[in-house]
Chains A and B, each alone.
Chain A
Amino acid sequence: MSIWEYANPAKFMRTTDRLLPWVVGGAVLLSVTGVVWGFLTPDDFRQGSTVKIVFLHVPAAMMAINIWVMMLVASLIWIIRRHHVSALAAKAAAPIGAVMTLIALATGALWGQPMWGTWWEWDPRLTSFLILFLFYLGYIALWAAIDDPDSAADLTGVLCLVGSVFALLSRYAVLFWNQGLHQGASLSVQSGERMSHVYRYPLYTAMVGFGLLFLALLLIRTRTEIRRRRLAALQAREMRA
C-alpha cells in the first residue's frame, strides 16, 4: 500500500467518498463550536469586545499561509511525478486560500481601526498578506487563462513556487522587520503562554475547525475537478471517433 495509489483518480474518488461525511461532520462541529464559543467569550481588559475577532482572524490567516504551502507541495508532486490528482488538488485549493486571505485582511482592517487607529498600514505582515492575496488571484486567473490542462498545471506550479516566498514572508515578516504595527504570534510554544485559557481553547477549536473545513472543501472541489476532467476526456474521445 503506497500513498501514490491515491494519485489514481478512481481510487481517490472511492476513498474520499467514504471519508467525506466524517470530514464534513468534524468541520461543521468544530468550526461552528469554535466561532460561537469565541463570540461568547468575555471582553478583554484592554481590547474590549474586539478580542472576539481573533477567533476568525487567526484561523483564517493560519489557513491562508498553510493552504499556499499545501499548494506548493501538490505543485512539486505534479512537477516531479506528474500525478494529475495533485495538480487538480492545488487548483481546487486556490479559491479556498483566496477567501481565507480575504477574511484575514478584512477582519484585520476591522480590528485595526479601533485598536491602531487605522484600517490599513504598509506594515510588513499586512503588505505581504496583500501580496499573497494577489498571488492567489493570479494563480486562479492563470489556470483559467490556459486551455491545455497540463501546460496550465506546469505554469501555475512555477507561479506557486515564486509565491511561496510571500507565503513564508507573511508568516515570518514580524520576526525580522521590527518597524511594523502587527504583533508577533498570538500562540507560541517557545514563548510559553501568551493568551488566557479563556481565549486559548476556543481559538484552538476554531483553528482545528477551519483546518477541517479546508479539508472538506478541498476534497469536494478536487472531486469536482476530476469529474470535469473525465467529462472533457470523454467528449474529446468522442470527437476523435
Chain B
Amino acid sequence: MIDLGKYAFAVVASYGVSLALLGGLIWQTVAANARARRALEDHEKGKKNG
C-alpha cells in the first residue's frame, strides 16, 4: 500500500475527481455515438422497408 502521508486527501481527491470526470466524459461520448448510429440505421432501414 502506498503511504501518501499527510497529503493523502489532496492526492486521492485529485485522482478521484479527475478519473470520475474523464470516466463520465468517455461514457457520455460512447453512449451518444451509439444512440446516433442506431437512430440513423433505424431511419435508413425504415426507409428501405418502405
| Pair A221/B14 contact, Cβ less than 8 Å | no
Residue A137 CB within 8 A of the other chain: no
* B30: interface (CB < 8 Å): yes
A228 touching B36, Cβ below 8 Å? yes
- Residue-wise interface mask of B (5-35) relative to A, using a CB-CB cutoff of 8 A (1 in contact, 0 not): 1111011011101100110111011101100
| B5 near A56: Cβ-Cβ < 8 Å | no
Residue of B nearest to A230 (CB): B40
The number of chain A residues touching the other chain, given as a range, is 35 or more
Q: Is B1 an interface residue (CB 8 A)?
A: no
A224 lies within 8 A of B10 (CB): no
Across the interface, do B11 and A50 meet the contact criterion of CB distance under 8 Å?
A: yes
CA distance A106 to B28 in the complex (A): 20
Q: Check: A160 CB closer than 8 A to any chain B CB.
A: no
User: A80-114 vs B: 1/0 string, CB under 8 Å?
Assistant: 00000000000000011001001100110011011
A221 to B27, CA, bound (A): 12
Task: Give the contacting residue for A114; candidates B10, B21, B43, B47; CB below 8 A.
Answer: B10
Q: Which residues of A contact B39 (CB under 8 A)?
A: 227, 231
Of the candidates A99, A113, A230, the one whose C-beta lies within 8 Å of that of B21 is A99
Cα separation A95 to B28 with both chains bound (whole Å)? 10
Mask: chain A, 178-192; 1 = CB below 8 Å from B; 0 = not: 000000000000000
Q: In the complex, which residues of chain B have a beta carbon less than 8 angstroms from the beta carbon of A77? A: none
Interface pair A106/B10, CB less than 8 Å apart: no
On chain B, the residues within 8 Å of A220 by CB distance are 29-30, 33
> Are B43 and A234 in contact, CB atoms less than 8 angstroms apart?
yes
Q: Give A residues with C-beta under 8 Å from B.
A: 35, 39-40, 43, 48-50, 52-53, 56-57, 60, 95-96, 99, 102-103, 106-107, 110-111, 113-114, 213, 217, 220-221, 223-224, 227-228, 230-231, 234-235
